[in-house]
Amino acid sequence: MMAFRPVDRPEADQVPVFPPAPWSFRAEGWAGLFVTRHLVRLPDGMEALGSKRLAVLILIRNHNGSLVFDELLVGSPVRLADEHTGLYIHQMWVSDYHAMWGGRLLWGLHAQRAHFFWQPNAVRIADEQGPVATLRLEQRKAFWPRVSFRWRAVGRLDGYWSLAQRAVRGKPGLGRIRIVAWDFRFVLRPLAQPIVSVRLNPADLTLAPPDLLM
């Protein structure tokens, strides 16, 4: 276990403007479940759900909605002491300044600003410190019926656990997401190939205000 590192906050006279929750988007995205090279370290008050060597990568292009931005989330499936479950977000990169501060101040997530450089079958992500990751993507046409599901992103907000429900409705298809390059700054060190992965396109996303738990 480890102590939780609070999210960074702006100066009192520099609080950015961003839309209030909920946020809604029309998007496309990829998600993959990966095995990590080492045991996942989690903050006190939570435990791994299943194996202690699992990581989830979620890559999303929010084309229109409350804001327009790209995001990469890196998380672990966890259970909190009160039996609530969700995906603890270790690290998160977004392409928009307002989305970064919204992620931090609305949901208590460690959002960082980065640039996303898209190619037909790949994306390269970099921030002011240098490369973050390069991901190879499959973009096969979605052929299954639309599905609806919900998952919760776990962060830490004002001394409480923040459980932010994300409602998803989208058309799934085969879409592998493979790691080509991965910076040493990542807390998790997943293997290059996922156990399983999927692509949703199109997808409708709604990010609800968080539930706060001690």
180: CATH: 2.40.400.10
Per-residue pLDDT, averaged over 69-89, amounts to: 94
Q: Is residue 64 part of a domain?
A: yes
List CB contacts of 1: < 8 A, sequence separation 6 or more: 41, 42, 43, 44
Segment among 1-15, 152-166, 193-207 with least mean pLDDT: 1-15
Whether 12 has a pLDDT exceeding 80, the answer reads no
Q: What's the one-letter identity of residue 117? A: F
pLDDT, position 144: 82
Query: Residues 153, 86: contact at Cβ < 8 Å?
Result: yes
Longest dimension (CA), the chain: 50
Q: What's the one-letter identity of residue 66? A: S
List the structure tokens of 24: 């809604």
Q: How confident is the model at residue 2 (pLDDT cuts 50, 70, 90)?
A: very low
Residues across the chain: 214
Q: How confident is the model at residue 4 (pLDDT cuts 50, 70, 90)?
A: very low
pLDDT, position 139: 78
Q: Which helix (H) or strand (E) holds 170?
A: strand 160-173
Q: Is residue 15 part of a domain?
A: no
Query: Residues 158, 173: contact at Cβ < 8 Å?
Result: no
List CB contacts of 107: < 8 A, sequence separation 6 or more: 21, 153, 155, 157, 162, 164, 207, 210
Q: Is residue 174 part of a domain?
A: yes
State the average pLDDT for the chain.
91
Q: Please tell me the total count of domains within the chain.
A: 1
Q: Is residue 4 part of a domain?
A: no
Whether 158 has a pLDDT exceeding 80, the answer reads yes
Q: What is the DSSP letter of 98?
A: H
Q: Is residue 2 part of a domain?
A: no
Q: Is residue 181 part of a domain?
A: yes
Query: To 5 degrees, how large is the angle CA 69–CA 71–CA 77?
Result: 145
Peptide bond preceding 22: is omega within 30 degrees of 0, i.e. cis? yes
Per-residue pLDDT, averaged over 134-138, amounts to: 96
Q: Is residue 10 part of a domain?
A: no
Domain span holding position 74: 21-213
Q: Is residue 206 part of a domain?
A: yes
Neighbours of 158 (CB within 10 A): 9
pLDDT, position 1: 47
pLDDT, position 5: 55
Query: Residues 37, 56: contact at Cβ < 8 Å?
Result: no
pLDDT, position 77: 97
Residue 145 phi/psi, 5-degree rounding, is -65, 160
Residue 99 phi/psi, 5-degree rounding, is -65, -35
Q: How confident is the model at residue 130 (pLDDT cuts 50, 70, 90)?
A: very high
